[in-house]
A = this chain, B = another copy of it.
């Protein structure tokens, strides 16, 4: 695993993407924190932290002693998409504010870019 961004965040991203890609489906069991820790050559607690993060996001459910499971897919995916997009938009808005742009300016730029992209392509 490469550095720059904390391991537990990288791991959370990994799991998220694998779920979105269909690698794990609803109700399916994920690798145990220890197994994944061995595979990724990292401390079990680091994986545990990633799993806990995903739990608070509503992506995972941890059953004490039983394992970790993917929660309902439609909701999860929707929520996941929303969170991701939300975070990225927020980042853009933040730097816009940082540059001193006004709300109306930001909105204008956004609308222009939003409408310049087609409705559904890019799988």
Q: Please report A residues at the B interface, Cβ cutoff 8 Å.
A: 13, 16-17, 20-21, 77, 80-82, 84-86, 88-103, 106-107, 109-110, 113-115, 117-123
Contacts and interface: CB of A to CB of B under 8 A. Distances in A.
Q: How many copies does the complex hold?
A: 2
Nearest to A99: B81
A77 B99 CA distance: 9
Contacts of A88: 88, 91-92, 95-96
A122 B101 CA distance: 11
26 contacts: A16-B100, A17-B100, A20-B100, A21-B100, A80-B99, A82-B101, A82-B109, A84-B95, A85-B101, A85-B109, A86-B109, A88-B92, A89-B109, A89-B113, A91-B92, A92-B92, A94-B117, A94-B122, A97-B118, A97-B119, A97-B120, A100-B120, A102-B119, A106-B114, A107-B114, A110-B110
